[in-house]
Amino acid sequence: MLSLGFVYLSTLFQLLIPAATAIASRTKPCTHNTFVSLGLLNINVLSLDVALGNAAWPSPSSLLNAYPTTKNYTIDVCQLTVNYTHPGWNDKITTWISLPLDSWNGRFAGMGGGGWVTGSLGALSQAVFQGYAAASTDGGHEETASIESWVLASKGNLNWANIQDFSAIALDEAASLGKAATELFYGRPPKYSYWNGCSTGGRQGHMMAQRFPAQYDGILAGAPAINWDKFIPAEYWPQVVIKELEYYPSPCEIDAITKYAIQACDQLDGVKDGIISMPGLCHFEPLSVVGKTVRCTAPNGTIKISKKAAKFAASVWAGAKSSDGSSLWYGSLHETPLTALGGTKCVSLTSCDPVPFTISADWLRAFISRDSSLDLSTINHQVFNRLFRASVNGFSSVMGTRDPDLTGFKQSGGKMITWHGMKDELIFYNGTEDYYRQALEADPELHDYYRFFPAPGVEHCGGGPGWYPGDSFQALVDWVEKGVAPDTLRAIATPSATGDAHPPLRTADLCAYPKVLTFVGGDPDRASSFTCK
């Protein structure tokens, strides 16, 4: 199953950077007694577990298994598990706090989640390995909980407490509890606090900047799931298109169209590398490849690209439309794989069934229709139009996370970095650009404390042939602590079309929006061959 992001990958390369100098600190004992005063005015602590533990890296649950390390590490921590409720809300939140025993770097980190996962204990490992005291919260529902078990209070009724906990409330409290526990253990508060997340974690970072602006000095918010009330229903748009066309194209047929689009537009940025770095120049017409023969595997066979498949691609690139044809949300850029949202499962190349993306299906069923057994096959264009409006009307203030007014964050001296892959197959890249432009309109000085870095060729939170900005967390720390504002973000990519098992990596310095990464000549694998224009 595709999940909306994974926080681990976003800071993989942090591990290559030496941890900040450990601060000698005499800690209090790792016992319940040390933390007995831990709490907040609006919560009831149900249980407080304090135990010596060790964090493991790589975390067994982490997707970093795709990046084998030569060594497994563990580090001793004081591990807190706080279970609490908001009196009268009948909710139950679990928040984890990990405090490194001997190498605290004087800082605190809040760690984000992905998809429906608010956060996890496993997410703390990478932070404590850097010497951070760290916290993450389950936001009132367990990682494995079924969607209806936490979203619906009873048949047809939303559980607003759980929804608000997930959206915002528990994130603020995790920061407060985490920082308070840090102070109780080390005898002084953290000198700096940071947020780190991608996807849902990126939305959470923006929620902190918008609504709880004093909690974090620095926020790294990758591929943010902001505009949630709009882009999540828009993720269902490709399924509406295939229903209306009454044609369920195989993944092979769809991918072939994407391949032709990349072929047509790749060179427009000056480098033939399988990446469309300047998507604004790409005006590929999918009808031009109708009739081309495509060889497929799983299921095996050959097909010709159909007119309906071409129309499908055109509609998905154009983005969700209302019944009267006006635009509801952005579409995917041409280099983006369309099968993540326009998925089908085929027994033969001409016999496929729709496979909607689970998170948007969950959203339309549980949140919007308040009926987790809703038959999605009833969603035609007209129904979609209604569900989209209901999503915006009912949830923009709860989950939208697109308040462009960052005055509070600016005044408290915060710094924020967002990057977003232009090949992102789950969260439409243009939604983030749209938010940044609005924030820029609200404050022409935005650049002084919030910078946005488009990442050509990068998929959702990582992957793809493009340049991945693995040093962005360190860039944030340098901005906050040394005042070094990042004009560019160093990023690396795998060279395409090489037979070498360990090829030298490509490097590029991603540009701060609105500047665009521009090839100026020379070796396209070297950062010095590009400039920001």
Parallel, antiparallel or unpaired: strands 73-85 and 44-57: antiparallel
With respect to Ca ion, which residue has the nearer C-beta, 78 or 275? 275
6, 63 Cβ separation under 8 angstroms: yes
95 binds ligand NAG (CB under 6 A): no
280 is an interface residue for ligand NAG by CB under 6 A: yes
Identified catalytic residue from 3, 125, 193, 199:
199
Q: Which does 330 bind (CB under 5 to 8 A by kind): ligand NAG, Ca ion, none?
A: ligand NAG
Q: Could you tell me which of 78, 83, 51, 54 has the C-alpha nearest to residue 177?
A: 83
Residue 452 neighbours by CB under 8 Å, 6+ apart: 418, 419, 420, 432, 433, 436, 512, 513
Here the tokens at position 80 are 């807190």
- Where does this chain touch ligand NAG (CB under 6 A) — which range of 65-73, 121-129, 477-485, 487-495? 65-73
Backbone φ and ψ for 350, nearest 5 degrees, come out as -110, 5
**Distance from C-alpha of 209 to C-alpha of 203, rounded to nearest angstrom:** 10
Residue 433 site contact among Ca ion, ligand NAG, none (CB < 5 to 8 Å, cut-off depends on kind): ligand NAG
- Contacts of residue 29, Cβ cutoff 8 Å, sequence gap at least 6: none
Q: Residue 140 or 279: which CB sits closer to Ca ion?
A: 279
Instruction: Say which of 138, 266, 424, 434 is annotated catalytic.
Output: 424
Taking the C-alpha atoms of residue 482 and residue 363, their distance in angstroms, rounded to an integer, is 42
Single out the segment in contact with ligand NAG by CB under 6 A; choices: 4-12, 67-75, 335-343, 392-400: 67-75
**Is 432 an interacting residue with respect to ligand NAG (CB under 6 A)?**
no
Kindly identify the residues of this chain, within the stretch 302-341, that bind ligand NAG according to CB under 6 A. Answer: 330
- From ligand NAG, Ca ion, none, interface partner of 83 (C-beta below 5 to 8 A by class): ligand NAG
Residue number of the CB closest to ligand NAG reads 280
143 near ligand NAG (CB under 6 A): no
Parallel, antiparallel or unpaired: strands 157-158 and 107-111: unpaired
CB closer to ligand NAG out of 56 and 374: 56
Please select the residue that binds ligand NAG; options are 54, 61, 83, 358, rule is CB under 6 A: 83
Sequence-ordered alpha helix ranges (H) in 412-454: 429-442
Is 353 within 8 Å of 345 (Cβ atoms)? yes
- Give the distance, in angstroms, between the CA of residue 251 and the centroid of all CA atoms in the same chain: 24
* 460 catalytically annotated: yes
Binding status of residue 72 toward ligand NAG by CB under 6 A: yes
Q: Which stretch binds Ca ion (CB under 5 A): 71-79, 271-279, 291-299, 328-336?
A: 271-279
Site string for ligand NAG, 412-431 (x = CB under 6 A): ------------------x-
Q: What tokens does 462 get?
A: 């990582």
Closest contact distance (angstroms) between CB of 472 and Ca ion is 22
Taking the complex as a whole, the smallest distance from the CB of residue 310 to Ca ion amounts, in Å, to 23
Exposure pattern of 197-231 as b/e (b: 16+ CB <10 Å)? bbbbbbbbbbbbbbbbbebbbbbbbbbbbbbbbbb
Asked, as a colleague might, if the bond just before 299 is cis with ω within 30 of 0, I would say yes
Report which of 194, 308, 210 is spatially closest to residue 250, judged by C-alpha positions: 308
User: Which partner in Ca ion, ligand NAG, none is near 94 (CB below 5 to 8 A by kind)?
Assistant: ligand NAG
Q: Counting contacts by CB under 5 A, is residue 271 touching Ca ion?
A: yes
300 touches, from ligand NAG, Ca ion, none (C-beta below 5 to 8 Å by class): ligand NAG
In the bound complex, what is the minimum distance in angstroms from residue 10's beta carbon to ligand NAG? 21
CB closer to ligand NAG, 477 vs 517 = 517
# binding residues, ligand NAG (CB under 6 A): 16
The C-alpha atoms of residue 103 and residue 45 are separated, in whole angstroms, by 29
Interaction of residue 266 with Ca ion, rule CB under 5 A: yes
Query: Shortest gap between Cβ of 390 and ligand NAG (angstroms)?
Result: 24
CA distance 461 to 221: 10
| From the list Ca ion, ligand NAG, none, partner contacted by residue 72 (C-beta under 5 to 8 A by kind) | ligand NAG
Q: Which residues contact 112 (CB under 8 A, 6 or more apart)?
A: 7, 119, 123, 136, 195, 196, 197, 198, 200, 201, 202, 204, 205
Q: Is 277 a catalytic residue?
A: no
d(CA 129, CA 146): 32
User: Which among 64-72, 239-247, 254-262, 458-466 is the span making contact with ligand NAG, rule CB under 6 A?
Assistant: 64-72
**Binding of residue 348 to ligand NAG (CB under 6 A):** no
SS (H, E, C) 86-136: CCCCCCCEEEEEEEECCCCCCEEEEECCECCECCCCHHHHHHHHCCCEEEE
CB neighbours of residue 376 within 10 Å: 16
Q: Does 47 bind ligand NAG (CB under 6 A)?
A: yes
Contact status: 181 vs Ca ion (CB under 5 A): no
> By C-beta, is 452 or 473 nearer to ligand NAG?
452
Cα separation of 111 and 5, whole Å?
13
Decide if residue 60 touches ligand NAG (CB under 6 A): yes
Residue 296 near which of Ca ion, ligand NAG, none (CB within 5-8 Å, type-dependent):
none
Q: Does 283 bind ligand NAG (CB under 6 A)?
A: no
Footprint on this chain of ligand NAG (rule: CB under 6 A): 47, 49, 60, 70-72, 81, 83, 94, 279-280, 297, 300, 330, 430, 433
Q: Active-site residues: which are they? A: 199, 424, 460
Footprint on this chain of Ca ion (rule: CB under 5 A): 266, 269, 271, 273, 275
